[in-house]
Amino acid sequence: MKTSKTSPFNREHQVLAALLKDMRGVAGLTQEQLAESLKWRQTDVSKVERCARLMGHVELRHWVAALNTDMIALELEFQDRLQRLGIAAPSPKGGLRLKRQKLR
């Protein structure tokens, strides 16, 4: 999806990218060290942190794990930052509920 520089999606991506960079700093890792842990190039880490590359959910899980934290901590901090900037959380449409099923 292409977004304009002023779209709410782009603002959320920028907040997420800044958060990921801050979390890396708190973890005491350089871009090179994080890239090595993820088996990425340093330039890919840089692109994520500059909001020039988006990650999928699975990639994000690996990034967060490499920082020795979890997705819940990431989400809580992300929501807090969005709220402080006045960016409203999206409202669920239709109340979709997923049933838990046993995996075979």
What CATH number corresponds to the domain at position 36?
1.10.260.40
Contact 87, 12 (CB under 8 A): yes
When divided into structural domains, the chain yields a total of 1
pLDDT value, residue 91: 72
pLDDT value, residue 95: 60
- Alpha-carbon separation of residue 58 from 4, 54, 89 (angstroms): 25, 12, 22
pLDDT value, residue 90: 74
Answer whether residue 74 is part of any domain. Answer: yes
Contact 66, 74 (CB under 8 A): no
Answer whether residue 73 is part of any domain. Answer: yes
pLDDT value, residue 89: 76
Answer whether residue 22 is part of any domain. Answer: yes
Q: Tens digits of per-residue pLDDT, 4-39?
A: 555 546 899 999 999 999 999 999 999 999 999 999
Answer whether residue 75 is part of any domain. Answer: yes
Answer whether residue 48 is part of any domain. Answer: yes
Answer whether residue 102 is part of any domain. Answer: no
Answer whether residue 101 is part of any domain. Answer: no
Answer whether residue 41 is part of any domain. Answer: yes
Q: Tens digits of per-residue pLDDT, 50-95?
A: 999 999 999 999 999 999 999 999 999 999 999 999 987 777 776 6
Residue 72 structural domain: 9-84
d(CA 34, CA 96): 36
Q: Where are the alpha helices (DSSP H) in the chain?
A: 8-26, 31-38, 42-49, 57-66, 71-84
pLDDT value, residue 9: 61
DSSP 91-103: PPSTT--PPP---
d(CA 102, CA 92): 25
pLDDT value, residue 1: 43
